[in-house]
Amino acid sequence: MSRRVGMEASFAIAEAVKLAEAEVVAAYPITPQTHIVERLSEMVADGEIDAEFICVESEHSAMSACVGSSAVGARTFTATAGQGLELMHEVLFVASSSRLPIVMAVANRALSGPLNVWGDQSDVMAARDCGWIQYFAENAQESFDLTLCAFKIAEDPQVLFPVMLNIDGFFVSHVVEPLYLLEKEELEGFIPPYQYPFPLDPRRPVTMGAFAPPVLCTETRKALEVALQGTRETILRVWKEFGDRFGRSYKPIETYRTEDADTILVGIGCYTETASVAIDTMRARGEKVVMVHLRLWRPFPFPEIRAALQGAQKVLVFDRCIILGGPGGPLCSEIKSALYGEEKKPKIFNFIGGLGGRDITPRQFEDMIARGREILDSKVTVEYETIGVRE
Amino acid sequence: MVTAADFESKTEIKWCPGCGNFGILAAMKDALAKLGLSPEKVLVISGIGQAAKTPEFMQCNMFHALHGRALPLATAAKIANHNLKILVNTGDGDCYGEGGNHFMHAVRRNIDLTVLAHNNMVYGLTKGQASPTSERGTITRVHQHGVIMEPFNPLAVALSLKAGFVARGFSGRMEHLSSIIQQALQYNGFSLIDVLQPCVSFNHVNTHRWYSERVYELEKENYSPADYMQAMVKAQEWGNRIPIGIVYKQDKPSFTDQVFALKDGPLVDRTYSPEPLRELLKEL
């Protein structure tokens, strides 16, 4: 039977990696991810998990080591954050284009500069186009469940893509919450034994990382994109199977209080849980507001977003990252591009906040929604507003 | 007259009480003052780590860079303005791990700057994982059965790459360390000072007392830092007796001395004057 325990999300991820029987963990310490790999290291040392823990000298080496171990057919896990993810950047593309099913947890953190170790989503958003399946967990329970699902999705023969599980740094990674842990017997058969179809093996030689001249590069990039888009079905199937077996279902987007809304607030990551408190308060006052939060980020859930936002008059998008020199927040940019071709389009406005670990209270979300409606009722003159900024 | 107080910053110092970094910071300020180097002539550059916080706690030109990347930044700063006195404050993880590749090539380049590597044999900022200089068998949260790799020997590596100034200091001997820093700053070329430093929170073996019982000053031992092979032998000495002081010193041209374009002064002081080139092109 599943056990209800109090545990921080970092440790919950480590528990899931143990249950998934990862064989290699290669990592480098960086705040706020460190607890995940420290816990895994203890598990390896105590013999709780039959895995090799490789301590490397940088995150670039960590991801390179993951590519190496995954390429020989070992089930591979790593975790990082912020600058660490950016240092891995060039290797992320090698992992996805080599179709290596590495699983990585990222405790989302701000990027330098200024130097800041606290949470926002600048790191994952800067790596959003690296060809990985990317999704978000908002609490410890989701972190545990979705780490288990990550291995099953990544290694599915129809997928063979690396998966990045994002959790907000500190607000999720370091918070102790109640959650249900699954036992080994309960999980039986959920994650099949890992069988990478083309491992580097002297008995069956293969070539990896080969050169592709102009005559081939377009086709391989296109094939990669088609394959990544094609992972949607497996992601949905695995999340449904998890729900059927263990009672907790996950969807590419989650909606909260969807009945008769005129304004929809869209977000991604754990701040949406705070925002849902504001939604409750406002609905109790009779205001027709709704929350839509994305779980799946790559491949982007275009059909689900279009369906969810179709009937709304006003859409407000909350981002925890600024695209410097671009249109504002990355989430809003994607939402606008998803809806541009639709005949019936809502008015959209973007708010940016929660940068570098700054908290946003439910009351601030209420103010944001009121302010957003006001802006959309008048003439919109700016791309976005920044919450609580001192100018 | 320049005093150590001129380098005092108003920023609250965020190191643990008893941290070896305090001794290094004091020695550095003392050395700068004794050489009469005023804050505007000094550039302190760091990467990431507890050591790398140092420039935040000083009043002078500073750049707190990315993890491992202090040396490439410092190299370019020196080339663009070789009138600046550059001190790189880095740690064993920052300099010998994440920035290890840069360390090797900075030595080879013989760029005129001083590296103060705060070596506490542990990752302090991320709470106590083993670093490149941790000894075999060191037990940490990550290395539960002890480190199984050989420790990085910064002095021997620098010597093998023909560094012209290789020294070791101890944060607990401020005056001695200040004297080494002064000589390093006066040396024309790449100078490495590996500074032994206790980490009061995460290294309970190599403590202040542990070092105090073992370190001895080379200057008091009739030791000549001019002998390369002897320096290599000293670089390997570790255990009951640990040498501190200047292990090796030899003059040779620095990188900026050898670049013809820098002979007329720092790049930053030059004006853009394409006229002579136009004249030259006409001749062709």
Which pLDDT tens digit goes with each residue over A137-175?
A: 999 999 999 999 999 999 999 999 999 999 999 999 999
B67–A46: do the CB atoms touch at under 8 Å? no
A115–B64: do the CB atoms touch at under 8 Å? yes
| Residue A339: predicted pLDDT | 96
CA distance A317 to A330: 10
**Mean pLDDT, residues A16-25:** 97
B164-204 confidence digits (pLDDT tens)? 999 999 999 999 999 999 999 999 999 999 999 999 999 99
- Extended beta strands in B30-178, E state: 42-46, 61-64, 85-91, 114-119, 122-123, 129-130, 165-170
Does residue B151 have a pLDDT over 80?
yes
| Residue A320: predicted pLDDT | 97
Percent of chain A whose pLDDT exceeds 90: 93
**Mean pLDDT, residues B87-101:** 96
Q: Which amino acid, one-letter code, is at A178?
A: P
Q: Which amino acid, one-letter code, is at B216?
A: Y
Please say whether the beta carbons of A84 and A28 come within 8 A: yes
Give the DSSP per-residue string, B22-73.
Answer: HHHHHHHHHHHHHTT--GGGEEEEE-SSSGGGGGGGBSSEEEE--TT-HHHH
Chain B environment of A30 (Cβ under 8 Å): 126
B141–A38: do the CB atoms touch at under 8 Å? yes
Query: Chain B residues within 8 A (CB-CB) of chain A?
Result: 48, 64, 66-68, 97-98, 100, 123, 125-127, 129-130, 132, 141-145
- The CATH architecture assigned to B4-283 reads 3-Layer(aba) Sandwich (3.40)
Torsion of CA A331, A335, A340, A343, to 10 degrees: -170
B100–A37: do the CB atoms touch at under 8 Å? no
A11, A25, A28, A54: best to mutate for the B interface, most B CBs within 10 A: A28
Mean pLDDT of chain A: 95
Quick one: which of A102, A135, A62 has its CA closest to A304? A135
What band does B263 get if pLDDT is binned at 50, 70 and 90? confident
Q: Which amino acid, one-letter code, is at A11?
A: F
Q: Which amino acid, one-letter code, is at B93?
A: G
| Residue A2: predicted pLDDT | 82
How many Å lie between the alpha carbon of A99 and the closest alpha carbon of chain B? 27
B97–A30: do the CB atoms touch at under 8 Å? no
How many Å lie between the alpha carbon of A81 and the closest alpha carbon of chain B? 12
Residues 6 or more apart in contact with residue B117 via CB below 8 angstroms: B51, B90, B91, B92, B95, B96, B154, B192, B193, B194, B195
Chain B environment of A54 (Cβ under 8 Å): none
| Residue B283: predicted pLDDT | 86
A287-326 confidence digits (pLDDT tens)? 999 999 999 999 999 999 999 998 899 999 999 999 999 9
Residue with more model confidence, B277 or A80: A80
What band does B272 get if pLDDT is binned at 50, 70 and 90? confident
A41–B141: do the CB atoms touch at under 8 Å? yes
Does residue A200 have a pLDDT over 80?
yes
Note if the pTM is more than 0.90.
Answer: yes
Of the partner residues A29, A37, A83, the one whose CB lies closest to the CB of residue B66: A83
CA of B66: which chain A residue's CA is closest? A112
In chain A the domains, ranked by start, together with CATH numbers, are: 3-246 (3.40.50.970), 253-386 (3.40.50.920)
Chain B environment of A31 (Cβ under 8 Å): 125-126
Q: Is A206 helix (H, G, I), strand (E, B) or coil?
A: coil
- For chain B, domain boundaries: 4-283
List A268's β-bridge partners, or say none: A294
CA distance A299 to B77: 43
How many Å lie between the alpha carbon of B201 and the closest alpha carbon of chain A? 17
A349-373 confidence digits (pLDDT tens)? 999 999 999 999 999 999 999 999 9
A99-118 confidence digits (pLDDT tens)? 999 999 999 999 998 999 99
| Residue A1: predicted pLDDT | 63
CA distance B214 to B218: 13
How many Å lie between the alpha carbon of A170 and the closest alpha carbon of chain B? 14
How many Å lie between the alpha carbon of B241 and the closest alpha carbon of chain A? 29
**Mean pLDDT, residues B21-29:** 97
Chain B environment of A44 (Cβ under 8 Å): 144
What band does B265 get if pLDDT is binned at 50, 70 and 90? confident
Does residue A85 have a pLDDT over 70?
yes
Residue with more model confidence, A386 or A255: A386
B145–A58: do the CB atoms touch at under 8 Å? no
How many Å lie between the alpha carbon of A43 and the closest alpha carbon of chain B? 9
Residues 6 or more apart in contact with residue A332 via CB below 8 angstroms: A266, A317, A319, A348, A350, A384
| Residue B261: predicted pLDDT | 86
| Residue B141: predicted pLDDT | 83
